Amino acid sequence: MTTLVLTVVGSDRSGIVAAVADVVATHGGNWETSQLAELAGAFAGIVEVSVPAEKADALRAALSGLDGLHTVAVQAGTDAAPAARQQLVLHVLGNDHPGIVRELSAALSAQGVSIDRMTTETKDAAMAGGRLFEATVVAAAPAGVDVAAVADEIERLAAEIQVDITLD
């Protein structure tokens, strides 16, 4: 079996996930891990599938012909075993303003920390008005990284960009 990572984007409509899943199954593939969302009227998803190696090209071709999908990218996955890493979970909450993700991701990268998953959302602030920015970041630090130093940098950044960041 070959691991493929599919990135699909199209106009949101009922049945789009079923159509992608049908193509994967028709080609002997197994739907494994995914993140799917409706964003501003568009459907966006990233899906990890395993498929017999001899059917990978046919799967790629079939996906590109699906009605309503504007972008379909297929990337071969890697079977390399991940290096030992420490997991960090950050929760971010504050008034929304440009640059929060840029500053946070740059600070993590400078410490050698890699973002594995990130979800973000903006919503109306219930009492104060304005918009709130909320994020959850699951990140991985190489085994030798000083987590206390990462925490210190995150605390410094939180004060600088005026958001609350908690590190689990």
Contact yes or no for 67/145 (Cβ under 8 A): no
- The angle formed by the CA atoms of residues 59, 65 and 67, to the nearest 5 degrees, is 125
Beta strands in the chain (DSSP E): 2-11, 30-39, 42-51, 69-76, 85-95, 114-124, 131-142, 163-167
Q: What is the pLDDT of residue 116?
A: 93
The pTM score is 0.79
Q: What is the pLDDT of residue 73?
A: 78
Q: What is the pLDDT of residue 133?
A: 96
| Helix, strand or coil, per DSSP, at residue 123 | strand
Q: What's the average pLDDT block by block, 10 residues per block, for the chain (168 residues)?
A: 91 91 96 94 93 94 85 75 83 96 96 94 85 96 92 95 94
Q: What is the pLDDT of residue 79?
A: 64
Q: What is the pLDDT of residue 58?
A: 94
